[in-house]
């Protein structure tokens, strides 16, 4: 029993340790999940701003999401946000800033498995070098993008970009076959904006090679763009036509230049609108030239101011984020220090719990040791009491009974004197027997009933009989009347005495249970049993059954030869 109690205490301790470890792990997992969810929400909001052309807000949120990313663990989101930041900077013609931003992804590109993300970075770098006239580096990054295992449309885009550089280098014969091959792609023809742009490039190559087929491609491009209501694209085609007719037909060239300028301005493409306006100025009269030149200067200054502000704003956002990140790192360091202090306190608490559990275990051992010792002393006292009673019966009564028997054998009982002498002797023996009985009769106390019942039952727990008791302490004995308590006591005592005399049992189990305002007592032993169908209740069991019935209870006996003896007693509280 003591060993079982120690094992139970250790089990409780291990459960507490497991609980603390699991709780700590759970808190850590929740923290990581929450951080990732936060980043995803910021990126989603940035995407919405980018889609609605609110680029300043998009840049700020992409930068914020990126600052919260750990690029070694979440390279995907880090590269994604950095690409769009570089795109926005490029859109504001901050090509150097865009290049610096894009190259920040290089240490982490090998950590992302999505080749489209890598293609985006190489593509934006290619465009930056293209716009800054570094065509060699532009071709290098477009070629890197071209060989990636990416979407078909991305591969065609890379081929297109390389061909555009050939145009800038006046290598029209190298550019033309590339554009013609792209133009035949079904995927391209299904995209009006992309398809019409390729038609323009083909027409431009034919124009530079002095091939009359240029006009047919320009006309086809205008048809596709008009149908798609692509004003920016129409501006580009009209500009190409103005350039085409500039030397041979100034009037037609001016017409297309004005159409180009109008479509560019309506599309919000001020940069290309300025190119069209410049062409108009070159072919205008003196009065119109002055007027258009003023417009050109005003637009140029406006664009420069907007872009300069954008560059400064983006630089400030990145600087502020970097500064905020440094401050966050300091706060995190402080937080880690606080967490270490908390962890130390938790360790101290665990040590305290261990000490408390060990103390409880020690107290449990001491308690059961003392209990066993008290029980042993009670058993010894009972043995001494029984020995004393046995001696008293032998010394005081046995001899008198023997003398009474001898008197009966040797005297004539028809004599009044002899008969009176015998009666007096028997009355004396009865009185002394009653006195001995009164001296040793247990008087049940309602206050210590459970203890007395346990003590009575424990006397039958010997080396030959293993007695199991369960549920006694769960019964509300305060609700049970004194008569019922005595009846229960005598009933169990009767069952145990019968077991001792007749059953030859080695294991006895007595179970108490309180259910539906009733008390149920189950007695079971593994003795030789009896045939319940032929059983005749003798004085002890018969009296016990009558007593249970008087309590408005029930008694059920189940037994068979060789299968033990079972009794269930049930009575109301």
Q: What is the pLDDT of residues 462-517, one digit of tens each?
A: 888 999 999 999 998 888 888 899 889 989 988 998 888 888 899 999 999 999 99
Average pLDDT, the chain: 82
* pLDDT at residue 529 greater than cutoff 90: no
Instruction: Judge whether 154 lies within some domain.
Output: no
Distance CA 221, CA 224 (A): 5
Q: What is the pLDDT of residues 365-381, one digit of tens each?
A: 998 888 888 777 766 66
Q: What is the pLDDT of residues 39-73, one digit of tens each?
A: 999 999 999 999 998 998 999 999 999 998 899 98
> Nearest-CA neighbor of 467 among 492, 447, 487, 485?
492
Instruction: Judge whether 223 lies within some domain.
Output: no
CA torsion 324→330→335→340, rounded to 10°? 160
Helices 115-131 and 75-91 meet at what angle, rounded to 10?
A: 20
Least confident of 141-145, 325-329, 502-506: 325-329
Per-residue pLDDT at 29: 44
Distance CA 412, CA 383 (A): 43
* pLDDT at residue 392 greater than cutoff 80: no
Distance CA 195, CA 228 (A): 11
Distance CA 15, CA 21 (A): 10
* pLDDT at residue 24 greater than cutoff 60: no
Average the pLDDT over 128-150 and give the result.
88
Per-residue pLDDT at 220: 93
* pLDDT at residue 432 greater than cutoff 90: no
* pLDDT at residue 4 greater than cutoff 90: no
Q: Which domain holds residue 484?
A: 449-572
* pLDDT at residue 216 greater than cutoff 70: yes
Per-residue pLDDT at 438: 43
Instruction: Judge whether 351 lies within some domain.
Output: no
Distance CA 300, CA 302 (A): 5
> Nearest-CA neighbor of 85 among 31, 127, 139, 46?
46
Does this model's pTM top 0.75? Answer: no
3-state SS string over 61-105? Answer: HHHHHHHHCCCCCCHHHHHHHHHHHHHHHHHCCCHHHHHHHHHCC
Least confident of 89-103, 156-170, 336-350: 336-350
Distance CA 184, CA 148 (A): 22
Kindly state the tokens that stand for 65.
């999401």
Sheet containing 565-572: which strands, arranged edge to edge? 466-470, 507-515, 518-525, 565-572, 554-559
Instruction: Judge whether 266 lies within some domain.
Output: no
Residue 17: pLDDT band with limits 50, 70, 90: low
Of how many residues is the chain composed?
573
Per-residue pLDDT at 81: 94
Kindly state the tokens that stand for 420.
């009176």
Residue 33: pLDDT band with limits 50, 70, 90: very low
Is-contact 558 566, C-beta < 8 A? yes
* pLDDT at residue 12 greater than cutoff 80: no
Per-residue pLDDT at 379: 62
Residue 32: pLDDT band with limits 50, 70, 90: very low
Instruction: Judge whether 328 lies within some domain.
Output: no
Instruction: Judge whether 298 lies within some domain.
Output: no
Least confident of 130-134, 294-298, 520-524: 294-298
Least confident of 130-134, 434-438, 492-496, 522-526: 434-438
Per-residue pLDDT at 289: 63
3-state SS string over 449-510? Answer: HHHHHHHHHHCCCCCCCEEEEECHHHCCHHHCCHHHHHHHHHHHHHHHHHHHHHHCCCEEEE
Question: Structural domain tally of the chain?
Answer: 1
Distance CA 459, CA 447 (A): 21
Per-residue pLDDT at 543: 80
Is-contact 324 67, C-beta < 8 A? yes
Kindly state the DSSP code that residue 184 receives in the 8-state scheme. Answer: T
Kindly state the DSSP code that residue 394 receives in the 8-state scheme. Answer: I
Average the pLDDT over 202-211 and give the result.
93
Cα maximum dimension of the chain: 178
- Of 190 and 29, which is predicted with more confidence? 190
Find the CATH number of the domain harbouring 505.
3.30.565.10
Instruction: Judge whether 234 lies within some domain.
Output: no
> Nearest-CA neighbor of 557 among 539, 572, 545?
545
Describe the chain by its helix, strand, coil percentages, rounded to 5: 75, 5, 15
- Of 16 and 432, which is predicted with more confidence? 432
**Residue % of the chain over a pLDDT of 90:** 32
* pLDDT at residue 294 greater than cutoff 90: no
Per-residue pLDDT at 161: 92
Neighbours of 245 (CB within 10 A): 18
Average the pLDDT over 115-127 and give the result.
91
Residue 36: pLDDT band with limits 50, 70, 90: confident
SS3 category, 272: helix
* pLDDT at residue 533 greater than cutoff 90: no
Instruction: Judge whether 498 lies within some domain.
Output: yes
Residue 34: pLDDT band with limits 50, 70, 90: low
Helix ranges (DSSP H) in 268-397: 270-282, 286-392
CA distances from 456 to 112, 488, 496 (A): 78, 12, 10
Place of tokens 């889609």: 51
Kindly state the tokens that stand for 452.
């007395």
- Of 542 and 318, which is predicted with more confidence? 542
Least confident of 102-116, 252-266, 412-426, 449-463: 412-426
């Amino acid at each position: 029993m003591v060993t079982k109690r120690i094992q139970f205490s250790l089990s409780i301790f291990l459960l507490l340790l497991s609980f603390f470890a699991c709780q700590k792990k759970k808190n850590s997992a929740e923290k990581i999940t929450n951080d990732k969810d936060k980043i995803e929400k910021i990126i989603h909001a940035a995407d919405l701003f980018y889609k609605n052309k609110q680029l300043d807000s998009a840049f700020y949120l992409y930068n914020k999401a990126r600052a919260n990313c750990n690029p070694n663990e979440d390279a995907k989101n880090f590269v994604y946000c950095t690409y769009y930041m570089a795109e926005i900077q490029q859109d504001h013609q901050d090509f150097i800033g865009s290049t610096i931003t894009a190259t920040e992804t290089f240490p982490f590109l090998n950590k992302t498995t999505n080749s489209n993300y890598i293609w985006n970075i190489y593509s934006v770098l290619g465009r930056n070098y293209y716009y800054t006239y570094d065509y060699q580096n532009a071709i290098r990054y477009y070629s890197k993008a071209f060989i990636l295992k990416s979407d078909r449309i991305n591969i065609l885009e890379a081929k297109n970009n390389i061909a555009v550089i050939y145009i800038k280098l006046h290598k029209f014969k190298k550019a033309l076959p590339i554009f013609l091959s792209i133009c035949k792609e079904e995927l391209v023809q299904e995209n009006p904006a992309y398809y019409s742009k390729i038609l323009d490039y083909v027409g431009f190559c034919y124009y530079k090679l002095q091939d009359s087929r240029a006009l047919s491609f320009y006309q086809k491009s205008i048809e596709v763009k008009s149908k798609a209501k692509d004003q920016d694209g129409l501006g580009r085609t009209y500009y190409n036509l103005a350039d085409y007719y500039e030397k041979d037909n100034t009037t037609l060239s001016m017409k297309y230049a004005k159409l180009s300028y109008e479509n560019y301005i309506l599309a919000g493409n001020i940069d290309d609108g300025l190119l069209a306006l410049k062409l108009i100025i070159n072919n205008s009269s003196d009065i119109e030239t002055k007027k258009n030149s003023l417009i050109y200067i005003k637009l140029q200054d406006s664009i420069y101011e907007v872009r300069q502000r954008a560059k400064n704003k983006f630089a400030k956002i990145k600087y502020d984020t970097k500064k905020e990140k440094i401050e966050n790192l300091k706060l995190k360091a402080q937080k880690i220090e606080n967490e270490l202090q908390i962890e130390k306190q938790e360790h101290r608490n665990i040590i305290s719990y261990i000490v408390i559990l060990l103390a409880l275990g020690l107290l449990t051992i001491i308690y059961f040791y003392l209990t066993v010792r008290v029980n042993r002393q009670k058993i010894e006292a009972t043995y001494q009491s029984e020995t004393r009673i046995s001696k008293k019966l032998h010394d005081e009564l046995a001899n008198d009974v023997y003398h009474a028997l001898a008197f009966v054998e040797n005297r004539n009982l028809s004599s009044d004197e002899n008969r009176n002498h015998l009666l007096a002797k028997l009355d004396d023996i009865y009185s002394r027997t009653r006195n001995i009985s009164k001296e040793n009769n247990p008087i049940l106390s309602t206050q210590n009933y459970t203890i007395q019942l346990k003590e009575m039952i424990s006397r039958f727990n010997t080396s030959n009989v293993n007695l199991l008791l369960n549920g006694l302490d769960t019964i509300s004995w305060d609700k049970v009347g004194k008569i019922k308590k005595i009846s229960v006591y005598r009933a169990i005592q009767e069952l145990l005495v019968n077991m001792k005399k007749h059953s030859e049992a080695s294991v006895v189990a007595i179970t108490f249970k309180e259910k539906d305002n009733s008390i149920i007592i189950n007695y079971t032993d593994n003795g030789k049993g009896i045939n319940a169908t032929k059983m005749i209740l003798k004085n002890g069991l018969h009296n016990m059954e009558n007593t249970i019935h008087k309590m408005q209870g029930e008694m059920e006996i189940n037994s068979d030869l060789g299968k033990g003896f079972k009794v269930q007693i049930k009575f109301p509280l």
